[in-house]
Chains A and B, each alone.
Chain A
Amino acid sequence: DAGVIQSPRHEVTEMGQEVTLRCKPISGHNSLFWYRQTMMRGLELLIYFNNNVPIDDSGMPEDRFSAKMPNASFSTLKIQPSEPRDSAVYFCASSVGATTEAFFGQGTRLTVV
């Protein structure tokens, strides 16, 4: 298996633009997590899906952020409009069940200028 695949690896965008991050979880994994990592705040859970259903989005910073999982092999995290404070590394992770080992994608480094 190729592991969790994220795209793009790097994204530079102007403030106010829409940004869409993509994730393909490991086949057979039914739990998917979106994280954000910054030096100041460390790893923060944004949203958790189980069997394609959003279970908890309490970590989503504000309405500018939205996430979808239309099927078991694809998820998106969208920021609209983007702001400079959204600059961070965004990770997608998947696992078999919510309480077992999670495997991370390579991350998307987002820079909003």
Chain B
Amino acid sequence: QKEVEQNSGPLSVPEGAIASLNCTYSDRVSQSFFWYRQYSGKSPELIMSIYSNGDKEDGRFTAQLNKASQYVSLLIRDSQPSDSATYLCAVNMDSNYQLIWGAGTKLIIKP
């Protein structure tokens, strides 16, 4: 069964620190990886997409992909209280159209 695993948290990080969110997936041939942020009562919002091994940076966000170890992570630098949300990892496996979603990690940034 194809799975995407995330620690449900909550992950508590002090303001200004680096928040590190991790996601592992079961299918070695997965090709597309996405991080979404979801505030309580709101819809998922795309933050980052990554398709190849290595790091991809966008502002305070960095996505890291390691296909050999089958994990993808999201780093948030200089964490702000407004970053407090649930972060969802989604993986597209086998070029299949269906995104497999993790259950999400709740992140709390403490002032």
- Which A residues are within 8 Å of any B CB, using their own CB? 31, 42-43, 45, 48, 50, 55-56, 91, 98-107
Contact = CB atoms under 8 A, between A and B. Distances in A.
27 contacts: A31-B97, A42-B101, A42-B103, A42-B104, A43-B44, A43-B88, A43-B101, A45-B98, A48-B97, A48-B98, A50-B97, A55-B97, A56-B97, A56-B98, A99-B31, A99-B92, A99-B96, A100-B49, A101-B34, A101-B46, A102-B34, A102-B99, A104-B43, A104-B45, A106-B42, A106-B43, A107-B42
Interface of B: 31-32, 34, 42-46, 49, 88, 92, 95-99, 101, 103-104
Nearest to A6: B43
B95 A99 contact: yes
A105 B95 CA distance: 24
Contacts of A55: 97
A98 B104 contact: no
Contacts of B101: 42-43
Contacts of B44: 43, 91, 104
